[in-house]
A and B are shown apart, each in its own frame.
Chain A
């Protein structure tokens, strides 16, 4: 352990190694910790022609964000480099921003965080370059901004998990209203189109017609095929010709042979496992 301490001290003194294109920023939970994780940061760039919703030049791409580091926290830690516009934490690198509309907290509970990647958008491009030059170590939890962990975090998580039924009701109602409206519109449209030939004179047949048609599902088509097969099988004659007789006999023999081979293999295995030593 001592040797390792010394090694670490030596490592701190020299330049922290970082992969090409990235710079490493040490990050610790608080003053008390001795070892630190390293954030690997670089400017967010994409190849020509690839679409990315993150603004070029102003976005900082951060790897290896420790689990106790939240979005607010990261924003606070990087704000000395320049005003931060937004921070988004993700499980793995993705080029596009997640859908704009916020996911319902009732139906999509937050997952337990692990190590994450972050896209930090600064208001100005020089924020990125300032961040790249950061030396650290960054402290996640300080006296002025304590971050909860352990028991305290679990208790507050538990309190958050107790949902407000009224808010849930309101959300459900609004969603269902919109959904009903959408369905009603679609139905009205379908009704309008029913029985009306299109430009080339084709009429669309739907389930709602007077004579319902077979639904277009896989199960239904399989059923039809099966019925056909059975019909054909019924018409065939079994063991009528001599060659048929011969073939069934041969088939039986082949089955026995196959079984025999399988059994021999089993025995071989059992012998290898010494399964025949009774005691």
Chain B
């Protein structure tokens, strides 16, 4: 009996919506087990739900021990709160390496050491003669140009030392790396090996030979090559243990020169060590121009010489200070969540450790500080200093032979010198990367200072992938185009410096170019760092063009996006030539209103959505002009989702303009209402109460001009009616406007009478608007419909005191008290809360122009998943608003795309059971009030609905989610969002193009028990469907303004009427799901509990029948008759009823 058990969680959606079902959490089973195990532990989380803590008086007020007092005091002084302290401790436990594993790693390292020493040496050969290398191994270096002087032989390393984070105890899980430095014996190297990559060639050959011998050893599971921090001149060897320890550790072998082999003065940033004659294969130009300096090349050599001194420095600083180590670990996690630490020029964990060492040496950090304080201090330092202008140095000696900071600033964008004063630790860090780090640090500081409850979560636990962090993202692909860009940008010296790596050579100039071009539109430009590849030792190293794609992220500045004009200098100024050169053919001379004649660039953009995409035009234009990268190679991901909220005929706009037109019309109407003469009471307020008036209606209304011939006429009431023989007329939804009338002693104090007086006002309003302004009106007892310029408004007269009158109750003693009643609550919601919300969100739209797009995309998606009717419009709008008001750890979205991705992320990860979503509209709630709401929430969780949204206007009730969703529906939404997010992100991050962007908007239909298919003829919004039909029916609209003497058909949507009937009649037995935007299918799910046979009860016979079962008379749903009813009730609309009867049994 009952539906088959196979099915989604949704199926559990039987009437019992009183409390959170355990089904809400995926980890329920675990939770249950745990709770049964430790039944006695007070307050253990049962089924993932927090319970208010109850401590006995004796426990609360017992004498404190000194230990406890100390602990509490420490928490107060070192951490922000006890919660934060516990969280940090937990996180450290999670990422730290356990002692047990350390022992195993140490044992492995010892074995590695032995094996390396046993590798046989080879006779000396010319560097260019590589025939001695065995067949199974390739040199892990691009040897371009191949010819180079010098000899090589292999000798076992003079010294093997462990360096890096493993030694310091600051390495973090997963993927533990142990860096091992192999000091090459002096005999291998010769004088002048610093020149022309000779040292690097030897280093590579050294590794190749080593790799060949180690690969034959059964101790290792895999032996691979990779690059040190992505620097392709410096390969390294990766060793992974064999057997079950395969993922335990990766040992990375770095060959390095013997100490004091290179003379530091030869490796200063201004020196050249790669001769043009050798590199370009041509004689130097005769004019005697100096060789270009090779600062990066020099740095890479220096890095190898300094490995040991760095680790010594770090171990003396971090040494015994646990807090500092914790801090470094936290910082590493912080960087990793922001994808900042990987690749060439990443802000690696090593850099951060050195930064901590610097701050210790300048006494900004003290040994006794906690990890949290170290994190805070470093972020504070990053946020407030600018290393691109004022570099820092760990070297405090005043040796005059040392180069000045200024020299380094000339050669590198970011300067942070090590203790030798010669090596720039940030040599590979580009300005963009550094600015991104600064930006993140600033955001994090704001977050830490705001004392937000979940600061820890947002700071350290929330990943910030590029696609979700940046408004627009663009991929440059294929990368080989960058080689051409190198030529065009004349980057020969850089190429020589980078040893032919054209990707990193062009990165700096390209980002500068785009930053300059985007100017005021841009907040931050970030680039992805090419991934560090790994390859088998029998293969050649991957080519530069194979290192994936270059992805750029643009964080836009909304206020800069409104302008279509790039204003240049006046035509006769000398800068004008530069401007013309920069913009090329797009620059034109223009005369402005103030008489000035200036160079200017004008972009074609009319609508909001086009203006948002101006950066696309700028980027493609500049890349084509200056870097020779054609448009076909730039894959811009910015407005792909716009198509889903575009109107039927408008492909150039995402509806912001149409919404603004409707709002303008509403403003005019409200002025008319204010100025109306002849009303017995004056209008005290006119407030919008409809999604259109807060810019969140998915498809904005367009002015309607109905064709009269298409409709039946009801002349005496000046109205049009639908005709049964024609397709359903266009759907026109009136926009609700609440019109408050002034209070007066004349108002009756009786609910029924107030209703009548309001009706009289509705009639009078219609009369006056027709008389004084010639508007077509139609009055009913509760509202007046007004047709103005093709828009239809529904004016509801309201009286401020009416909810109070409905609430009044008289006790037997004659005391009048106020108690909420369903009627008063719904009236308050419609006439008070809704207008407040509408105006607040209207304000939000003025502040954040992308709000409309995000809210509408979000709503569109929820509706497309057939769940739209389970969530109120307002609740979804508020969730979207939360993305703008509480964007941490991001910034408020400036494009619908990124906002939608974050909506999916929020929906799929938010813990509704234990947290209210606080939407602090207009910033009216103080931090203390929010904390109070949170604690009050836990204590009274059971009185709240499943999904709780708190706003300043609605602090106690969460009115917009009172009537739904049920726990199962919410869970379903979370599941769908969690599935949609990775799919969509993958599509957007795919440089070959996103494919079908509508994939995530198509609902899964296989979980429903019955599908009712509707005929498009009677679906008025058929054209709005996700996969818009090529052709649909005529809906009786004229394309031009026609006569307006008859009221068009209002709010007539057959599918909605049908659903209302279905829910009323069969709501006890089944759930109905439908996409109101042109859905052709209604999904029906039977409720399992209603399929349980139960004894006859007079009050519960709806749609059921009595059957004899096992000798007893029981009631079961009369499914066959009900299926036929589905067709009868929707006669004309229903095309077919697909019963998937294999899914249930009666």
- Which A residues lie at the B interface, using CB under 8 A? 1, 4, 8, 17-20, 24, 29, 33-38, 40, 63-64, 66-68, 92-93, 106-107, 111-115, 117, 149-152, 154-155, 157-159, 162-165, 168-169, 172, 175-176, 179, 183, 215-219, 221, 250, 253-254, 256-279
Contact = CB atoms under 8 A, between A and B. Distances in A.
A278 B44 contact: no
Interface of B: 25, 27, 30-31, 34, 43-45, 48, 50-51, 53, 55, 59-61, 64, 72, 81-83, 86-87, 90-91, 93-95, 174, 333, 336-337, 457, 460-461, 463, 712, 714, 717, 719, 721-724, 748, 750, 752-753, 755-757, 759-760, 763, 766, 778-781, 814-818, 911, 914, 938, 1018, 1049, 1052, 1054, 1057-1058, 1060-1061, 1064-1067, 1096, 1098-1099, 1101-1108, 1113, 1118, 1120-1121, 1123-1125, 1128-1134, 1141
B632 to A, nearest CB: 35
B1128 A68 contact: yes
Contacts of A64: 1101-1104
Nearest to B1142: A1
29 contacts: A24-B1105, A29-B1124, A35-B1124, A63-B1101, A93-B1099, A106-B780, A107-B756, A113-B1064, A149-B1128, A150-B1128, A150-B1130, A154-B1054, A154-B1057, A155-B721, A159-B712, A159-B721, A163-B717, A179-B752, A216-B814, A218-B815, A218-B818, A258-B60, A261-B43, A265-B44, A272-B27, A275-B461, A276-B91, A278-B94, A278-B337
B753 A114 contact: no
B82 A216 contact: no
Given A179-B750, A250-B61, A165 B86 contact: no
B817 A217 contact: yes
A175 B463 CA distance: 65
A67 B30 CA distance: 46
Contacts of A253: 64, 72
Q: Kindly name the residue among A107, A165, A264 whose own CB sees the greatest number of chain B CB atoms within 10 A.
A: A165
A35 B25 CA distance: 41
A106 B752 CA distance: 12
A93 B779 CA distance: 36
A35 B1118 contact: yes
B757 A176 contact: yes
Given A112-B1064, A276-B91, 6 more contacts: A37-B1121, A63-B1098, A64-B1104, A163-B717, A261-B53, A278-B460
A269 B28 CA distance: 11
A263 B84 CA distance: 9
A13 to B, nearest CB: 14
A267 B914 CA distance: 12
A169 B814 CA distance: 36
Contacts of B1099: 92-93
B1128 A273 contact: no
Given A40-B1101, A165-B779, A273-B25, A114 B31 contact: no
A273 B72 contact: no
Nearest to B767: A165
B781 A107 contact: yes
Contacts of A254: 60-61
Contact of A158 (B34, B1049, B1067): B1049
Contact of B90 (A1, A68, A267): A267
**Closest 6 A/B residue pairs (Cβ):** A150-B1131, A151-B1132, A115-B1102, A35-B1120, A218-B817, A19-B1096
Contacts of A68: 1125, 1128-1129
A67 B25 contact: no
Given A29-B1128, A113-B1065, A158-B721, A267 B87 contact: yes
A132 B315 CA distance: 97
B1141 A1 contact: yes
B759 A172 contact: yes
A37 B1057 CA distance: 23
A114 B1064 contact: yes
Nearest to B1057: A154
Given A35-B1121, A257-B60, A17 B48 contact: no
A68 B337 CA distance: 60
B744 to A, nearest CB: 15
Given A17-B1107, A175-B756, A168 B779 contact: yes
Nearest to A38: B1105
B753 to A, nearest CB: 5
Contacts of B814: 216
Contact of A258 (B55, B748, B1125): B55
B1064 A272 contact: no
A17 B818 contact: no
A154 B1056 CA distance: 11
B724 A273 contact: no
Given A165-B763, A168-B763, A278-B336, A155 B724 contact: yes
A276 B96 CA distance: 12
Contact of A176 (B756, B1065, B1067, B1105): B756
A163 B1107 CA distance: 46
Nearest to B42: A261
A34 B1120 contact: yes
A226 to B, nearest CB: 16
A237 B914 CA distance: 40
B760 A149 contact: no
B1101 A112 contact: no
A107 B755 contact: yes
Given A17-B1107, A155-B722, A150 B1065 contact: no
B707 to A, nearest CB: 17
Contact of B45 (A37, A272, A277): A272
A93 B1100 CA distance: 10
A266 B717 contact: no
Contact of B816 (A40, A159, A218): A218
A155 B463 CA distance: 54
B686 to A, nearest CB: 22
Contacts of A262: 53, 938
Contacts of B1054: 151, 154
B465 to A, nearest CB: 11
A24 B1134 CA distance: 30
A273 B1052 contact: no
Contact of A154 (B82, B1052, B1066, B1128): B1052
B459 to A, nearest CB: 11
Nearest to A108: B781
B818 A219 contact: yes
B1075 to A, nearest CB: 20
Contacts of A277: 94
Contacts of A37: 1103, 1105, 1118, 1121, 1125
Nearest to B938: A262
Contact of A151 (B1066, B1118, B1121, B1133): B1133
B1067 A114 contact: yes
B86 A267 contact: yes
Contacts of B60: 254, 257-258
A92 B1102 CA distance: 10
A172 B756 contact: yes
B1131 A176 contact: no
A183 B748 contact: yes
Nearest to B85: A263
A267 B81 CA distance: 13
Contact of B766 (A24, A66, A165, A279): A165
B1129 A67 contact: yes
B724 A67 contact: no
Contacts of A279: 174, 336-337, 463
Nearest to A68: B1128
A270 B750 contact: no
A273 B1105 contact: no
B1129 A149 contact: yes
Contacts of B722: 155, 158
Nearest to A274: B27
Contacts of A257: 55, 59-60
Nearest to B93: A276
Nearest to A150: B1131
